[in-house]
Amino acid sequence: MINRERILNEFYELVQVDSETKHEEAISVVLKQKFGELGLQVVEDDTREVTGHGSGNLICTLEATPGHEAAPAVFFTGHMDTVVPGNGIKPRLDDDGFIRSDGTTILGSDDKAGLAAMFEAIRVLKEQNIAHGKLLFVITAGEESHLIGSRSMKPGTFQADYGYALDCNGSIGEMCTQGPTHAQIKIKIYGKAAHAGVSPESGISAIQVASKAISRMPLGRVDHETTANIGRFEGGTETNVVCDYVYITAEARSLKDDKLAVQVDKMRKAFEETAEEFGARVEFDSHVIYPAYHFDNDSQVVRVAFQALEQIGLKGSTFKSGGGSDVNMFNGLGIPSINLSVGYEDIHTTKERIKADDIVKLTEFVVAIIQESVKEKKA
């Protein structure tokens, strides 16, 4: 069913197009041409103006085959950008069956393995006259820049009943069905400067306030569903000056919205109460950058995936993640979606690798999902 040589050659082609995050111009041109040549309607949204990246997000539509217009509209998503160092990638297939770079760059299987699987799946549908409902392929820019592409996408940019990201670590058949909500936090503490040797009692050390506040709040692994971290702490000038200003960045994550709210409130109170004790002033700003999602195995988006895996003889399993992805944003836009494991390993490093067989298996999985979705009714 899958043309192994063709898909591997396409993967090699894609990873050799430079596309480090913020610089997606070249890969965007290639992707638009490829989807267009396959007969899809290709639209680039207007988020480029908001993000400052080299491309907007691409929404590529393949209309349903005649007689299957009533089937659920399904979308598949991946991202076009890579992390650094991602220029001048030279892929090679080693004797152990893994594809790697030459060791001076990443490989780019995150997420060009997913993109290659999409293209091959479309070709297989057409060559074998496989019936399908309306399909959308949503390719985001800036995923590696804190999901800026999908975060900038407007509600209603595309319509689908459910969908799948091809952008997760793990073995083919593993599916992330639960992801966290994430609060980004910025804190400014204003103390009072004074000479540290002559009159330290006249000052209020913002560093001391910040340190005591941080010692009073739960951090790290708060519980099995919640984490929190202080990521950056800066302030002060010379050792003979009582520091009058500190700037802190932090985050909190939880698989449950109510737990996130509780954690952020504890962090806020620790800073505010400590500042009051010392006579300092604090500005605490927190906002949620993406929502949580959670799907049970009997939900349509998960059930269809399990049925597809059974069709191709693979075992499926689900897991929860503490990290965010474009899936969080699409669920926030009201489109049920989960993240499928691609099989890549050691991503974001020069040791990144992926089994050639896994790119083929991923494509089989995508085709099987499309076949199973035709049997479904719209939710």
Burial of 186-215, coded b for 16+ CB within 10 Å and e otherwise, reads: ebbbebbbbeeeeeeeebbbbbbbbebbbe
Answer yes or no: are the C-beta atoms of 325 and 165 closer than 8 Å: yes
Q: Which residue has the tokens 């988006």?
A: 301
Of the residues 20, 45, 81, 372, only one is catalytic, namely 81
Spatial separation of the C-alpha atoms in residues 119 and 127, rounded to whole Å: 12
Contact 179/325 with Cβ under 8 angstroms?
yes
Cα 165 to Cα 117, 143, 209: the distances in Å are 12, 12, 44
Whether 49 is catalytic is no
Which residues lie below 8 Å from residue 295, measured CB to CB, with a gap of 6+? 177, 178, 301, 302, 336, 338
- Angstrom distance (rounded) from CA 117 to CA 366: 8
81 noted as active-site residue? yes
Q: Which amino acid is at 49?
A: E
Q: Which of these is catalytic: 20, 110, 111, 143?
A: 143
Active site residues: 81, 143
